[in-house]
């Protein structure tokens, strides 16, 4: 008996050793069931066959028990799919499909990692909370959705928890609250980025403060709105890394930060933190990295003398507002010498670079952009021999940047000094000791020769030499820079032809050569191109009949395909989203793909002719079409019928004919700006046009339109508002130069410019009374028609009007007295009608005293006309004169007030045309506009991200 038991025991032992090798049957079945549920196109689970499941890829068993203890299927190879210029490819080497609940059988699991696979759409696998022994759980970047079960808090052995999301997928997990986290007493590492907590109040006291072992905490984009400021007792003193970003606290930096003696990384960016810095920051003696950028923190930092390990400081986009030398007084000399990374951009600092910059000899990253720094770049700048990245853009620095200051910077890769008054004048035969990737010198003084020292900089990816006074040919060596990704050379006096082909620039995405004197034909271009601006040059010729492009599939998997396709320019450029060829001498027909183009198509001011080919399709992202001032003919282009997101359409100054189709009003709901001026359109103005509630500018002038004005003009609701919501008017062409300001005023322009122009047609009937609700209109021009009836009685309601032109009609009756309420009116013309009675006086009308405004109306009387009205009043000359003078003075002041608004608008429009003023002017405008700019820029980014 005894013997028998012994034999059984031996047998069991042998069995266990044996099974350790070929694993436990039901666990193996569970794995196979899991395998059956996933799509594995990269054959990562190829080894998952046979009995020895402990040897399978990603599987590890315990030597003692034979149970599976580790399942590690993390996709580490996806990074191979990441190229700097190619989008991160989540699917590369991914497992996809379902996570089978069969895994629940792996009851001894200690380690589970499924990160960076694509299980998008799967709910959080609830069974995970049953793995009592789990120490490591990583389900990050798996596309899981839905609620995290609070039972996960039962995993009391857990050391490592990563449930962070994939920013690219937009898929996120939810959690009812943060309470369950407080049970994870052993936790050392937690990343919950992207997890949306429905109730996060008290997450510091109730959860964080119950985790005494926690060393690393990462929370980004969780929608947290509170962070308790003080704690009676701080338990989480093991914390080394606190990384919180993209939250919405609207509160000060918490006081408990000073009680975290082990903290090495304090990162709280974009959290809407306000108020001053707590003095307790000075107690964080282990701190290595201090990053509090993109908040609303105010004022000077506290003394940080004891932070001897500090090497990284980023306080960008806060309001420090001190002399920059005083800022460095808060750091020890030792720290200054050790600092590796310093970002103080947009912090409102003043002062010069002298006296401190030469001491920062360890710096590899320095950004001081968008401050108020003055003076020159001092000679000891050359001490910064470790510099890789320097950004001094948007300051008021002056003087010379020469070979002597730059020569020692062997590691320099990124140089941005745009928007300063710096003259860069290295010797002609200077060969820099560095190889730059990013060169932004826009608005500095470089010319008149194209800078020869750039010739050896063959690794340049982004080059901005806008507005640098270059008066030269583009040197041919520039076109051998095959890494070029963005190229901005606009606003110079560049001459000559471009090479016949630039197809070899396979990275080129953005090329802006506008506002130069370039000529010849447009070259063959690489398929990578996203934005092409060649406006305001002298390019000529037809769009070429054949187009050869190197044809590449963008997918990283298939990037070896090369070949040649033949297309008409720009039809082969399938990535092209912004095309501006305006103001050149281009001729011939529009390309057949024209309505299938990307977001912005500007071909104005050329010699394109004929009838645009019709493909009856539209790219659905075409938002701006400007074909103004060509010789285009035919009917209103039918292709646009399907362009449902069109916001701006200008067909003006062409030879289009036929009727304006009803579908314009029925289909193009997003239209903001519609200009058909100076064509040969005839027939009625379709009543459907008034369905375009977003319309702000409607210009049908100079056609052969007949019939009445549309009846329901009051449906133009956007014209009833002074300022409309800003359209996202994308213009990525000026990234470093103006930091996107170009974007701003274009949007601002579209926000305030409201106009109706039906002039020079054969329109008949009366002016609808409801037109007076369009109180945002700045311009109303109905002149040179056959309109009859009266001027609307309440026209004085249209208080924004700056220009009103009703001349050359058959309007009759008196001029409404309310017209004197049009305070902004600067241009008025009522001549050649049948108006009668006395001309209203007072207010703004008083300053419009040119009699020709009223001429050709024989029955009008009163000033400024010579003919006086027969008034019952006596002509007590002196008395009425002096009264009149007083009257005038009062209104003079009022006019000044309103005149200010007008003046502002005038400045705005002037800025449109005078480039050099713009920079200075917009710098003055307060953060309100900056905010707008940021918003627009963000919207732009989002828009392009959505496209990608």
Provide the binding-site residues for ligand NAG, judged by CB under 6 A.
63, 209-210, 212, 233, 235, 250, 258-259, 280, 282-283, 333
Q: Report yes or no: 630 and 603 within 8 Å, Cβ to Cβ.
A: yes
Q: Residue 168 Cβ, how far from ligand NAG at the closest point, in Å?
A: 29
Beta-strand pair 495-497/755-757: unpaired
Nearest-angstrom CA–CA distance, 346 and 338: 23
Q: Which residues fall within 8 angstroms of residue 889, CB to CB, at 6 or more apart? A: none
Backbone angles phi, psi at 390, to 5 degrees: -135, 130
Q: Residue 251 Cβ, how far from ligand NAG at the closest point, in Å?
A: 8
The sign of the CA dihedral 247, 251, 256, 260 is: positive
φ/ψ region of 856 (left if φ > 0, alpha if ψ in -120 to 50, else beta) reads: left
- Which residues share a beta bridge with 96? 39, 118
* Secondary structure class of 832 (helix, strand, coil): coil
Q: Which is nearer to ligand NAG, 733 or 930 (CB)?
A: 930
460-482: burial string, b at 16+ Cβ within 10 Å, e else: bbbbbbbbbbbeeebeeebbebe
Q: Which is nearer to ligand NAG, 258 or 863 (CB)?
A: 258
Q: Any idea what the Cα angle at residue 713 is, between residues 683 and 856, rounded to 5°?
A: 75
Q: Which is nearer to ligand NAG, 250 or 810 (CB)?
A: 250
Residue 313 tokens, joined? 């400081």
Q: Residue 359 Cβ, how far from ligand NAG at the closest point, in Å?
A: 6
Q: Residue 334 Cβ, how far from ligand NAG at the closest point, in Å?
A: 8
Residue 561 tokens, joined? 């395909």
Q: Which is nearer to ligand NAG, 50 or 886 (CB)?
A: 50
Q: Residue 283 Cβ, how far from ligand NAG at the closest point, in Å?
A: 4
Nearest-angstrom CA–CA distance, 887 and 844: 12
Q: Residue 55 Cβ, how far from ligand NAG at the closest point, in Å?
A: 10
Q: Residue 226 Cβ, how far from ligand NAG at the closest point, in Å?
A: 12
Residue 841: CB atoms within 10 Å: 16
Q: Which is nearer to ligand NAG, 207 or 629 (CB)?
A: 207
Q: Residue 360 Cβ, how far from ligand NAG at the closest point, in Å?
A: 11
Q: Which is nearer to ligand NAG, 358 or 469 (CB)?
A: 358
Q: Which is nearer to ligand NAG, 194 or 282 (CB)?
A: 282
Q: What radius of gyration do the chain's Cα atoms show? A: 35
Q: Which is nearer to ligand NAG, 24 or 828 (CB)?
A: 24
Beta-strand pair 755-757/779-781: parallel
Q: Residue 261 Cβ, how far from ligand NAG at the closest point, in Å?
A: 7
Q: Residue 650 Cβ, how far from ligand NAG at the closest point, in Å?
A: 39
Q: Residue 743 Cβ, how far from ligand NAG at the closest point, in Å?
A: 25
Q: Residue 95 Cβ, how far from ligand NAG at the closest point, in Å?
A: 26
Residue 601 CB-density burial (10 A; 0-12 exposed, 13-18 middle, 19+ buried): buried
Q: Which is nearer to ligand NAG, 299 or 886 (CB)?
A: 299
Q: Which is nearer to ligand NAG, 192 or 211 (CB)?
A: 211
* Secondary structure class of 343 (helix, strand, coil): strand
Q: Any idea what the Cα angle at residue 360 is, between residues 355 and 366, rounded to 5°?
A: 105
Q: Residue 209 Cβ, how far from ligand NAG at the closest point, in Å?
A: 5
Q: Residue 931 Cβ, how far from ligand NAG at the closest point, in Å?
A: 13
Measured CA distances, 308 to 285, 288, 312, 774 (Å)? 7, 8, 11, 65
300-337: burial string, b at 16+ Cβ within 10 Å, e else: ebeebeebeebbbbbbbbbbbebebeebbebbbeebbe
Q: Report yes or no: 456 and 478 within 8 Å, Cβ to Cβ.
A: no
Nearest-angstrom CA–CA distance, 295 and 244: 12
Q: Residue 255 Cβ, how far from ligand NAG at the closest point, in Å?
A: 9
Q: Which is nearer to ligand NAG, 235 or 841 (CB)?
A: 235
Q: Which is nearer to ligand NAG, 158 or 465 (CB)?
A: 158
Q: Which is nearer to ligand NAG, 280 or 721 (CB)?
A: 280
Measured CA distances, 313 to 326, 359, 366, 667, 772 (Å)? 16, 16, 10, 53, 58
Q: Which is nearer to ligand NAG, 66 or 710 (CB)?
A: 66
Q: Which is nearer to ligand NAG, 207 or 694 (CB)?
A: 207
Q: Residue 206 Cβ, how far from ligand NAG at the closest point, in Å?
A: 8
Is the peptide bond between 574 and the residue preceding it cis, with omega within 30 degrees of 0?
no
Q: Which is nearer to ligand NAG, 209 or 247 (CB)?
A: 209
Q: Residue 101 Cβ, how far from ligand NAG at the closest point, in Å?
A: 29
Q: Residue 254 Cβ, how far from ligand NAG at the closest point, in Å?
A: 13
Nearest-angstrom CA–CA distance, 322 and 319: 9
From first CA to last CA, the distance across the chain in angstroms is 75
Nearest-angstrom CA–CA distance, 769 and 614: 40
Measured CA distances, 346 to 349, 413, 422, 532, 925 (Å)? 8, 22, 20, 30, 15
- Which residues share a beta bridge with 416? 391, 440
Q: Report yes or no: 428 and 451 within 8 Å, Cβ to Cβ.
A: no
Measured CA distances, 397 to 231, 369, 376 (Å)? 46, 11, 6
Q: Which is nearer to ligand NAG, 250 or 762 (CB)?
A: 250
If DSSP states are collapsed to H, E and C, what string results for 184-222? CCCCCEEECCCCEEEECCCHHHHCHHHCCCCCEEEEECC
Q: Which is nearer to ligand NAG, 214 or 845 (CB)?
A: 214
If you write DSSP's letter for every residue of 72-138 in order, what string do you get? E----GGGGG-BTTB---TTTT--EE---GGGGG-TT--EEE-TTSB-TTPBP-GGGGG-TT--EEE
């Amino acid at each position: 008996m005894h013997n028998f038991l012994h034999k059984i025991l031996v047998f069991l032992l042998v069995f266990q050793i044996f099974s350790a090798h070929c694993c436990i049957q039901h666990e193996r079945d569970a794995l196979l069931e899991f395998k059956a549920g996933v799509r594995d196109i990269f054959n990562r689970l190829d080894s998952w066959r046979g009995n020895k499941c402990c040897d399978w890829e990603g599987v590890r068993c315990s030597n003692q028990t034979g149970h599976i203890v580790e399942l590690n299927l993390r996709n580490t190879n996806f990074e191979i799919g990441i190229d700097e210029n190619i989008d991160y490819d989540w699917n590369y080497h991914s497992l996809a499909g379902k996570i089978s609940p069969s895994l629940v059988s792996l009851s001894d699991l200690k380690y589970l990692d499924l990160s960076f696979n694509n299980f998008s759409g799967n709910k959080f696998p609830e069974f995970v909370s049953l793995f009592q022994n789990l120490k490591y759980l990583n389900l990050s970047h798996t596309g899981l959705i839905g609620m995290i079960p609070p039972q996960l808090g039962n995993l009391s052995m857990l050391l490592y928890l990563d449930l962070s999301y994939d920013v690219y997928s937009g898929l996120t997990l939810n959690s009812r609250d943060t309470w369950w986290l407080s049970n994870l007493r052993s936790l050392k590492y937690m990343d919950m980025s992207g997890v949306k907590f429905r109730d996060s109040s008290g997450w510091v006291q109730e959860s964080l403060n119950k985790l005494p072992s926690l060393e690393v905490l990462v929370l980004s984009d969780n929608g947290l709105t509170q962070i308790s400021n003080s704690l009676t007792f701080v338990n989480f003193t093991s914390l080394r890394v606190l990384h919180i970003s993209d939250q919405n606290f609207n509160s000060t930096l918490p006081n408990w930060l000073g009680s975290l003696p082990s903290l090495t990384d304090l990162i709280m960016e974009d959290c809407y933190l306000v108020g001053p810095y707590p003095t307790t920051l000075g107690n964080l003696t282990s701190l290595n990295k201090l990053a509090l950028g993109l908040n609303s923190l105010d004022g000077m930092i506290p003394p940080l003398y004891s932070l001897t390990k500090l090497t990284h400081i980023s306080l960008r986009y806060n309001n420090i507002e001190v002399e920059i030398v005083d800022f460095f007084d808060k750091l020890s000399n030792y720290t200054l010498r050790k600092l590796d990374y310093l970002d103080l951009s947009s912090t409102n600092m003043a002062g010069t670079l002298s006296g401190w910059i030469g001491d920062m000899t360890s710096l590899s990253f320095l950004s001081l952009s968008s401050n108020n720094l003055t003076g020159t770049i001092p000679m000891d700048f050359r001490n910064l021999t470790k510099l890789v990245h320097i950004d001094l853009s948007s300051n008021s620095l002056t003087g010379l940047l020469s070979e002597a200051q730059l020569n020692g910077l062997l590691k320099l890769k990124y140089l941005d000094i745009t928007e300063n008054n710096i003259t860069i004048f290295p010797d002609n035969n200077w060969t820099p000791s560095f190889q730059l990737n990013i060169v932004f010198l826009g608005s500095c003084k470089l010319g008149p020769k194209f800078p020869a020292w750039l010739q050896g900089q063959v690794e340049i990816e982004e080059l901005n030499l806008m507005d640098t006074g270059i008066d030269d040919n583009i040197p041919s060596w520039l076109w051998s820079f095959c890494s070029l990704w963005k190229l901005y050379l606009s606003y110079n006096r560049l001459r000559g032809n471009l090479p016949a082909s630039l197809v070899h620039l396979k990275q080129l995405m953005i090329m802006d050569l506008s506002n130069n004197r370039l000529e010849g034909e447009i070259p063959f271009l690489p398929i990578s191109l996203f934005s092409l601006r060649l406006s305001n040059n002298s390019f000529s010729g037809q769009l070429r009949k054949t187009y050869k492009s190197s044809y590449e599939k963008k997918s990283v998997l298939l990037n070896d395909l090369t070949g040649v396709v033949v297309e008409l320019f720009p039809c082969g450029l399938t990535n092209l989203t912004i095309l501006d060829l305006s103001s050149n001498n281009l001729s011939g027909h529009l390309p057949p793909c024209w309505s299938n183009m990307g977001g912005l198509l500007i071909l104005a001011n050329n010699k394109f002719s004929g009838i645009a080919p019709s493909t009856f399709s539209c790219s659905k992202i075409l938002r701006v079409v400007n074909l103004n001032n060509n010789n285009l003919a035919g009917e209103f282009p039918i292709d646009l019928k399907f362009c449902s997101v069109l916001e701006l359409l200008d067909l003006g100054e062409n030879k289009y004919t036929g009727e304006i189709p009803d579908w314009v009003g029925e289909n193009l709901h997003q239209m903001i700006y519609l200009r058909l001026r100076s064509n040969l359109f005839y027939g009625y103005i379709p009543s459907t046009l008034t369905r375009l509630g977003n319309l702000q500018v409607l210009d049908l002038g100079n056609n052969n339109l007949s019939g009445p004005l549309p009846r329901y003009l009051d449906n133009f609701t956007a014209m009833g508002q002074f300022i409309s919501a800003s359209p996202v008017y994308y213009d990525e062409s000026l990234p470093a130069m103006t930091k996107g300001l170009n974007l701003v005023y274009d949007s601002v322009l579209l926000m305030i410019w409201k106009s109706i122009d039906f002039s020079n047609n054969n329109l008949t009937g009366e002016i609808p009374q409801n037109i007076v609700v369009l109180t945002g209109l700045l311009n109303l021009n109905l002149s040179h028609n056959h309109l009859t009836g009266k001027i609307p009685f309440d026209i004085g309601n249209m208080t924004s009007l700056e220009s009103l032109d009703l001349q050359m009609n058959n309007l009759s009756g008196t001029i409404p007295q309310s017209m004197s309420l049009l305070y902004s009116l600067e241009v008025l013309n009522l001549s050649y009608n049948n108006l009668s009675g006395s001309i209203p006086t007072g207010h703004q009308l008083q300053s419009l005293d040119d009699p020709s405004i009223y001429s050709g109306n024989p029955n009008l009387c009163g000033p400024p006309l010579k003919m006086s009205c027969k008034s019952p009043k006596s002509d007590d000359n002196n008395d009425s004169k002096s009264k009149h003078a007083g009257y005038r003075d009062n209104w003079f002041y009022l006019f000044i007030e309103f005149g200010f608004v007008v003046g502002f608008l005038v400045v705005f429009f002037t800025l449109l045309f005078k480039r050099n003023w713009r920079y200075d002017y917009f710098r003055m405008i307060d953060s309100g506009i900056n905010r707008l700019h940021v918003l627009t820029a963000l919207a732009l980014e989002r828009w392009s991200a959505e496209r990608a």
